[in-house]
Each structure stands twice: as C-alpha cells, then as structure tokens.
Amino acid sequence: MKALFGRRHTLQDTYGLAAKLDQARRGAHKVSALLRSHGLDVAVQPVLVLAGPGAPVVPGGAIKHEGVLVAAFRDSDDWRPVMAAEGQALPLATAAQAADRLLAFCDQRDQHQRTRHQRNEQQRSARKQSTRKQSTRKQSTRKQSTTEPARRSR
C-alpha cells in the first residue's frame, strides 16, 4: 500500500496510520491466499510505502511497525535491501512463478471488470431504448386522443 503526504510529520502523527497498516496487512493476507490457492506457499510481507514531499522520515529507510514494514519512497535504495535481509528473498524460480500467478490473476480480474462494464453498458442502453419506446407510445396515444373528434353521447 502507498500513502501520499502533503506536509512532513512523524510516523506516529500520520493521519489514519492504523487503517493504512491494517490495509497493508489485509493485502498481504489476500496475496498470500491467492498464491497458496495456486500451490505456492510463500510468506508475504505487508509493506506500507509513504510517499510525497511531506512523508515522514523513516529511520534507516524502513522500520517494522505493528508487523508491517514501513518505508519512505524517497529512501527506496535503503529499504529494498532491508526486505531481502529479513529472509524474505525468494529463490528466483519461485519469485518468477509467484509473479506469473499474480499477473495472470490481474489479467483475469481486468477482463472480468471489462466484461462486467460492457454488460452494464448494454443493460443501460437497453433500458434507455425501452424508456424511449414507452415515451414515444405515450406521446402517440396523446396525439390520437386530441385529434379524434369528440363523440356525442345520445
């Protein structure tokens, strides 16, 4: 997860930090479950990257905070090695397999979203056409009733 900042402050003063940390943990859990469902049982480290000119300064480039690796984007040269140093580095073949699975999932999700969007657009268009037809029928009925001569009752 990435958080943007407009003015600098301390990590503890970061607005919504608890929610950001929780989102990072949930995301890592979801990625781990997805990879496990494809036969890859790998540890997924939650990471919160703080970005923007006002992002807090993170000592050493990255720190572990409530189980989440918190890093400043501007210090990426410092925190990327921290991830590998914590025993999180995967063998190259496993990393490639995990990346392939994640990319395949993203492609599948994107295709699903495009299909759903197209289906929604078709339904919306069909409703508009139906509404137009009903409106045209009502106008046509009104015109007929105003142009018919009034019948006299006996």
Q: Which tens digits make up the pLDDT trace of 60-69?
A: 778 888 999 8
Please work out, in degrees rounded to the nearest 5, the angle formed at the alpha carbon of residue 92 by the alpha carbons of 102 and 88. 80
Instruction: Write out pLDDT tens, residues 134-152.
Output: 777 666 666 666 555 555 5
Question: Which letter does DSSP use for residue 75 in this model?
Answer: G
User: Which parts of the chain have pLDDT scores under 70?
Assistant: 1-9, 75, 82-88, 133, 137-154
In 3-state terms, what secondary structure has residue 3?
strand
Q: Specify the pTM.
A: 0.63
Q: What is the pLDDT at residue 53?
A: 75
With CA atoms as reference, report the closest residue to 46 among 98, 100, 1, 111.
Answer: 1
pLDDT of residue 119: 85
The amino acid at 67: G
Q: What is the pLDDT of residue 61?
A: 78
Please state the domain extents for the chain: 2-89, 90-123
